[in-house]
């Protein structure tokens, strides 16, 4: 599974200092709560001159898309793809990070597509980054470093997500929210608890981005069958980590009848462990940043199309769900202008898929509980 890469991968500051910066960002809640509740008149005026209005209606025929963690390993290529491929639907591409945002924004602003690029750096500018946003994409977070336990990693990324969601709740509570920050199985429940606490939770607009699992599944199937992956469709359900990733190969648009059961099992395991495959190939120098950015851009493009009124948009995403008895689950969703329009039922599973489904539920429940407990105890 990929790690959500952010500022610590850049060279602007040594790792220990950048962790300190992020920790300060996380722990700044006590002093920031009052300022998050309102925007002073002077700031409000400045924001409206940037062609964003409080009603949430695009002022120039496009949407405001905000990327939180825009200068990181996922954030930079994601912003490039959005500026390049989605500019016809984006009025303002708002970039936020705790450092180095201005350089990334300046670079992107020279690309000859119509979306305006704006730069916002540090907690004091989080409000201007978010205000009036229609979609907020969150790749912010840190990769696991030598000497860090998985619990250390969870606490840092969980704290970052919690702080950023408090900002979203204050400055763009009607926005669609797409969370990339890992572990997604826990960070989406964290986001839900924060939004619920702030009284602005809309389950139809909160998503954990699991598109990379679908992208990998279609790519690997295309390779096996010798067809264009763009022509392949396969639902991937469950969660977004290891065994909780369940590709429903029996529901692939392309028949796998000629693939043996042992090869299907190997394919399922490869999809589940694909993040580790990238980490090993990079020899510890990084994780799945480029493919994750591509997948997130594809998901965002679908969201923008749905928000624009296009019909028949179906994506898999990890959401608050009643499709199973697990409160958060990734499955196929039909998107509409106001978010999730329909939760599609799970397809019939093969025996192998059903066994994997039953085995992953306890792990998924534990990850969800870890996220909700974090908010309850902080």
Helices (H), the chain: 15-26, 29-37, 41-49, 75-85, 101-109, 126-130, 150-171, 184-197, 211-225, 261-272, 274-281, 290-307, 351-376
Please check whether residue 22 is in contact with residue 5, taking contact to mean a CB–CB distance below 8 angstroms: no
Count of alpha carbons within 13 Å of 241, Cβ hemisphere only?
A: 18
* The two structure tokens encoding residue 189: 């429940």
- Phi, psi of 153, rounded to the nearest 5 degrees: -60, -45
**Active-site residue among 25, 120, 240, 254?**
240
Between CA 267 and CA 358 the distance in angstroms is: 19
Q: What's the CA angle centered on 214, arms 245 and 328, to 5 degrees?
A: 45
DSSP 247: E
Task: Give, rounded to a whole angstrom, the gap between the first and last alpha carbons of the chain.
Answer: 27
Please check whether residue 22 is in contact with residue 142, taking contact to mean a CB–CB distance below 8 angstroms: yes
Please check whether residue 345 is in contact with residue 249, taking contact to mean a CB–CB distance below 8 angstroms: no
Is 240 known to be catalytic?
Answer: yes
* The two structure tokens encoding residue 173: 């509570």
Residues labelled as active-site residues: 240
């Amino acid at each position: 599974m990929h790690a959500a890469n952010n500022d610590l991968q850049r060279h602007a500051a040594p790792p220990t200092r950048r962790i300190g910066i992020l920790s300060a960002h996380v722990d700044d809640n006590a002093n920031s709560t009052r300022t998050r509740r309102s925007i002073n008149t002077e700031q409000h005026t400045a924001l409206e001159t940037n062609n964003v209005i409080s009603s949430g209606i695009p002022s120039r025929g496009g949407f405001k898309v905000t990327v939180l963690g825009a200068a990181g390993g996922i954030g930079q290529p994601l912003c490039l793809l959005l500026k390049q491929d989605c500019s016809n639907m984006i009025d303002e591409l708002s970039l936020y990070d705790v450092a180095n945002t201005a350089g990334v924004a300046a670079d992107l602003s020279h690309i000859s597509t119509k979306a305006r690029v704006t730069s916002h750096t540090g907690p004091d500018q989080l409000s201007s980054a978010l205000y009036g946003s229609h979609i907020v994409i969150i790749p912010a977070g840190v990769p696991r470093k030598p000497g860090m336990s998985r619990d250390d990693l969870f606490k840092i990324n969980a704290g970052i997500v919690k702080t950023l969601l408090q900002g979203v709740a204050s400055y763009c509570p009607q926005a669609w929210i797409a969370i990339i920050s890992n572990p997604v199985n826990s960070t989406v429940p964290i986001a839900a608890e924060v939004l619920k606490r702030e009284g602005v939770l809309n389950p139809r607009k909160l998503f954990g981005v699991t598109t990379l699992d679908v992208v990998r599944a279609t790519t690997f199937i295309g390779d096996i069958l010798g067809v264009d992956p763009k022509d392949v469709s396969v639902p991937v359900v469950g969660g977004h980590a290891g065994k909780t990733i369940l590709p429903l190969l029996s529901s692939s648009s392309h028949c796998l009848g000629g693939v043996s059961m042992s090869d299907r099992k190997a394919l399922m395991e490869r999809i589940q462990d694909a993040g580790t495959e990238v980490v090993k190939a990079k020899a510890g120098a990084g994780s799945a940043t480029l493919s994750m950015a591509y997948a997130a851009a594809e998901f965002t493009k679908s969201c923008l199309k749905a928000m624009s009124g296009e019909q028949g948009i179906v994506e898999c995403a990890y959401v608050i769900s009643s499709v199973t008895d697990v409160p958060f689950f990734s499955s196929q969703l039909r998107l509409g202008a106001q978010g999730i329009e329909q939760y599609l039922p799970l397809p019939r599973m093969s025996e192998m898929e059903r066994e994997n489904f039953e085995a992953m539920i306890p792990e998924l429940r534990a990850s969800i509980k870890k996220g909700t407990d974090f908010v309850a105890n902080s």
